[in-house]
Amino acid sequence: QISDPEACDQMYESLVRIHTNFYKNKYPRLKDTTFTGVTVEDCRMILATDILKQMEDMKKGTWKRLREKFSAKKPEEDLK
């Protein structure tokens, strides 16, 4: 038994509007961006694993990269 059928109807209509994207269609966006102004393509590019690896490499200092490059042993040297 519903105590307030009128309030229930209002809530139902509100949920229907949300479900059918009523407000998305009523107020279309001029640009397809997020709150920060980044486009969907930029977000996908940032979240890609290759880009994340490149960004991690960029964060490393020059000396650290050189040290890793020259201190890393080649697999052939390990076998000898």
Split at pLDDT 50, 70, 90, the class of 31 is confident
Structure confidence by residue, pLDDT tens digits, 39-71: 777 777 777 777 777 777 777 777 777 777 787
CA distances from 49 to 40, 44, 69, 78 (A): 16, 10, 21, 29
Domain span at residue 45? Answer: 5-72
Tokens standing for residue 5: 């059928």
Domains held by the chain: number: 1
DSSP character at residue 20: T
What is the value of pTM for the model shown? 0.39
* Helix pair 49-59, 40-47: axis angle to 10 deg: 70
In a domain, 34, yes or no: yes
In a domain, 13, yes or no: yes
In a domain, 31, yes or no: yes
Is the pLDDT confidence value at 11 over 90?
yes
